[in-house]
Structure 1
Amino acid sequence: MTSPQDNQTKKIFIDGEAGTTGLEIREKLGAVAGAQIISIDPARRKDAQARREMMREADLVVLCLPDDAAREAVAMVDSLEGARPRILDASTAHRTDHAWVYGFAEMEPGQAQMIAAADRVANPGCYPTGAIALLRPLVEKGVLPEDFPVTINAVSGYSGGGRQMIEQYEQGEAPNFTLYGLNFSHKHLPELLKYTKLARRPIFVPSVGKFHQGMLISIPLHLDLLGGASAADLERTLANWYGDGGLVRVIPTQEETRIEPEALNGADRMELRVFSHPEYAQAVLVARLDNLGKGASGAAVQNIRLMLGL
C-alpha cells in the first residue's frame, strides 16, 4: 500500500549531474522533502536512449549542460510521446526565449507564481541575478532612466568558470585576478539587457579572483544625473521592492567602507547595499551572493520547489 507521502513524491532527473552545478543541486535536493532524484548509470550518461528513459520517468528534468546540449535535450523531451516532464534549464540557451519563464522569483511581483505554473523555466545567470536585482526596481519605479549609461562591474570565485578553470586554479596554473569579457560581447549581456529593462546596452566588466566561490556585482552612479534622486531614495526603492524576510535583502551600509565576496558562501540568499557619502553626489550599488548558491544551484532548487509544489 502506498502512503500519502509516496503519492506526493516528485521524480527529478538532472541531465548533467556530474558538473559543478549538477552536483550542488543534487546535494541541496537531498534536504527537500518529497524530492526523489533519479539517476542514469554513469556508463550510459551519453546514451540518448538511457537519457530518454530517465526523462520519460521524471516529473521534472533539470538541464546542467552546455547550451547546444541543452537545446538537444529539450528536443529530446519534445520527442517523447504522451505526458512530458517539465524542464528547468541551468544553461544560457533559453534565458531570453519568450516561450520560457525567467527563473528569478524575486524579480517582480507575480514572478514566483509564473515559475510555479510554467512548464519551462530558465535558471538565471549568476552575474545577471545580482545586476537585475539592483537595477530592475530602479528602472521600473522611474528612479533610473531606462537609457541611463550603466556600467556593471563584477568579480566571481573561479568555480563559476567551469571544470577547466577550476582545474587551472586548483593546480596553481591561473593568475590571482583576471578581467575578461573585454570584447563587450559576454554571453550574459542579452539577459542583462532584457531583464533590467534598460534601453541602453550596459557596459559589463566581469572578472575572476583566486577564491573558490562568492561574488560581488557593483554599479557606480553619478546621482546628479538622476534628476535629484538621493542614495537614500535608491535604498528605499530597493527595500520597498523586496520587503523583509525573503532571499533578497537590502542591508543598510551604515559606516561600512569595504565589502568582501565570500561572506554568503553556502547560503542561498543575496544582499543588496547602496554605498554613498553625504558630501558627494555619487553612489555604488552592490549585490553580494554565492555564485554557486543564489547564483546557480540555490536558485535552481528554489525554482524546483516552486515548479513541483515542494
Structure 2
Amino acid sequence: MTHAVFIDGEAGTTGLQIRERLAGREDIRLIQLDDDRRKDHDARAAAFAEADVAILCLPDDAARQAAAMAGDTRLIDASTAHRTAPGWIYGMPELPGQRSRIAEARRVANVGCYATGSIAMLRPLTEAGIVPPDHGVVLTGISGYSGGGKGLIAEYNAGSAPDFYLYALSQDHKHLPEIMKYGGLTRKPLFQPAVGRFRQGMAVQLHLHADSLPGQVAGHARIEAALRDFYADDPFVTVEAATTRIDPQALNGTNRMTLSVQGDGQGRVTVIAVLDNLGKGASGTAVQNLNVMLGAKETVGLT
C-alpha cells in the first residue's frame, strides 16, 4: 500500500532531511508543491486534504496555523508548538507504551533535539526511582550550529559567529517543559546548552552525585544497569562502555543514539547522550514516528 505524505516546509533544514529519507520508498508518495506555491494557502490546503499524513517543518506560530488548516489529516509536528499541548501525542517512541499511542494518533508532536538526549537519560532513572522527581538535576550540552536554523547557519557560513558560545543563560530554553514532563521531573532542572563550530551532531550531559541519590547502592553500575534494562530491545538506542573522549558528531547522518555512564567511580557521574540533532533529534525521529503511524517496519529508511 502506498501512503501520500506532505511535508509542509520541506525547503527548511529538517524538511529537506525528511524528504531525503523518504525519497525512493515504494510505500511513500510525496506530495510536493512548486517553489512559488509553497506559501499559497489554497495549494497547501489541497495538499493537506490529499495527504494521509502531513509533517510540519515550520516555526511554532506557522505550525499552529497549519495544524488548524490540516483538518482531519494526520499530523507530525516537528516544531515546539505542540509538545506539551492537550490532544497531541508526544513523538518519542522509546518511552513506555508510546509506540502504540503514536500508532493510533491523529496528532503527533515530534520530540526536540536536546529533549531527546535529556529524556533518554532521565526517564529510565526516574522510573527506576534512582533520580527523584524533585531532584536538583543539572544538564549541559553542545550542538552543531544547524540547530539554530537558517539565521545561525548563515552566520557560521559567513564566518561571523564565534567558535563556541553558551546561550539560554536565563534558564528558559524552549525544551525544558517537555524535558520535565516526559523526563519525570517536578523540579525545573538547570540546563546549559552551547553551540560549536560544526554543522550537526550533539552531546547532552546529565551530571549526578550518585552517592546523594536514594537507594542502597550508589554509583555507575546501578545507573548503567537501569539504562541497559530500559533500552534492551530498542532498535536505535544503545548503552556503551565509558570512554576517554566523546565526539558529538559520531552519529551524524543516522537515527541512532548512544548513552554512556562516565565519572570517577566514587559517586560523581556524568551520563552522556550522543545523537545527530538533525537526525535522531529531528528528521530521523519524524520518519520513525511516520513508520509507526503507517504500520511500517520502524527502521525503514533509517540507519
For normalisation by structure 2, the TM-score amounts to 0.95
CA offset digits 1:65-104 (Å, max 9, x no partner): 00000000011123xxxxx210000000000013111110
CA offset digits 1:234-288 (Å, max 9, x no partner): 00000001104520111121xx22211011011111000001223x221100000
Of 19, 44, 61, which residue of structure 2 is paired with 1:26?
19
Of 199, 202, 214, which residue of structure 2 is paired with 1:212?
199
Paired residue secondary structure (1:155): strand
Paired residue secondary structure (1:220): strand
Q: Which runs of 5+ in 1 are unaligned?
A: 1-7, 79-83
Corresponding residue for residue 232 of structure 2: 243
Of 74, 77, 80, which residue of structure 2 is paired with 1:92?
80
Paired residue secondary structure (1:192): helix
Output the CA distance in 2 between the equivalents of 1:257 and 1:296. Answer: 28
Matched-pair contact (CA < 8 Å) for 2:5–2:53: yes
> Aligned residues: percent identity?
52
Output the CA distance in 2 between the equivalents of 1:85 and 1:32. Answer: 21
CA offset digits 1:166-198 (Å, max 9, x no partner): 011011110000100001111111111111111
Q: Does 1:200 align with 2:187?
A: yes
Corresponding residue for residue 61 of structure 1: 54
Structure 1 residues 84-233: aligned runs within 5 Å: 84-108=72-96, 110-227=97-214, 228-233=217-222
Paired residue secondary structure (1:265): coil
For normalisation by structure 1, the TM-score amounts to 0.93
After TM superposition, what 4+ stretches of structure 1 lie above 4 angstroms from structure 2? Answer: none
Q: Does 1:299 align with 2:299?
A: no
Matched-pair contact (CA < 8 Å) for 2:140–2:205: yes
Q: CA deviation at 1:31?
A: 4.4
Q: 1:48 to 1:157 in 2, by over 3 A?
A: same
Output the CA distance in 1 between the equivalents of 2:155 and 2:68. Answer: 34
Q: CA deviation at 1:40?
A: 1.1
Q: Does 1:9 align with 2:2?
A: yes
Q: CA deviation at 1:33?
A: 3.3
Paired residue secondary structure (1:163): helix
Q: CA deviation at 1:229?
A: 2.2
Paired residue secondary structure (2:211): helix
Paired residue secondary structure (1:37): strand
Paired residue secondary structure (2:131): coil
Q: Match for 1:15: what amino acid?
A: D
Q: 1:31 to 1:41 in 2, by over 3 A?
A: closer
Structure 1 residues 67-78: aligned runs within 5 Å: 67-78=60-71
Q: Match for 2:63: what amino acid?
A: A
Output the CA distance in 1 between the equivalents of 2:24 and 2:173. Answer: 35
Q: Does 1:270 align with 2:257?
A: yes
Paired residue secondary structure (1:36): strand
Q: CA deviation at 1:32?
A: 3.3
Paired residue secondary structure (2:267): strand
Corresponding residue for residue 299 of structure 2: none
CA offset digits 1:115-152 (Å, max 9, x no partner): 11101100000000000000001001101111110111
Q: Match for 1:301: what amino acid?
A: V
Output the CA distance in 2 between the equivalents of 1:62 and 1:245. Answer: 24
How many residue pairs match? The answer is: 294
Corresponding residue for residue 284 of structure 1: 270
Matched-pair contact (CA < 8 Å) for 2:218–2:267: no
Q: Match for 2:64: what amino acid?
A: R
Paired residue secondary structure (1:17): coil
